[in-house]
Amino acid sequence: MLFAVTHTLNGLGTALPVLNSTTIDSSTKTIFTYIWHVIGIENLVFGIALILMAFQRKLEKVKFTALVIISILIFRWVIITLFTFLDGQSNLMDLLPDTFAIFTVVVLLLFGIRVKNK
C-alpha cells in the first residue's frame, strides 16, 4: 500500500504538473494521467490483497497469488531498469529507491510463502 501512496504523491507533486507546462496535446496528457492513476490503484489493490493473504490460515491458497505478484514486481523492475538505461541520461542511482522497494517486497513474499503450516 506504501507503493500506492508514494506513486500517487510523486505523480501529483512532480510528474503530472510538468504535463501542464508542456505543449503535449491534451489526449496524450489524459492518457498519461489515467495510466499514472491506474498504476497507483493497482498498487493499492496489491497492498490490500497482500494484507488479506497475511491472515489466511491455509498457505496453499496464497502461494500462487504471491508468486503472481512477485512476477509482476520483477517484470516492473526489468521495465524500469530497461527504460532507465535506454534513456541514456539517467543515473544508476535513480534506480536505487525502486530497486530497494521492489526487492524488499519480493524477499518478504518469498519468506512468507516458505513458512510451514502449523
pLDDT in tens, 90-99: 677 778 888 8
Quote the CA–CA distance of 92 and 89 in Å, as a whole number.
10
pLDDT of residue 61: 73
pLDDT of residue 89: 66
Place of cell 490503484: 41
pTM above 0.85?
no
Q: Is 63 helix (H, G, I), strand (E, B) or coil?
A: helix
pLDDT of residue 117: 58
pLDDT of residue 74: 94
pLDDT of residue 6: 84
Find out whether 91 and 77 touch, Cβ atoms under 8 Å: no
DSSP letter at 22 equals S
Domain assignments of the chain as residue spans, ordered by start: 1-55, 57-118
Dmax over CA atoms of the chain, in Å, equals: 60
Grid cell digits, residue 90: 539517467
pLDDT of residue 35: 87
- Taking only the tens place, the pLDDT of each residue in 46-68 is 889 888 888 877 777 788 888 99
Q: Angle at which helices 2-10 and 96-113 pack, to 10 degrees?
A: 160
- Taking only the tens place, the pLDDT of each residue in 6-61 is 888 888 888 888 888 888 888 888 888 888 888 889 889 988 988 888 887 777 77
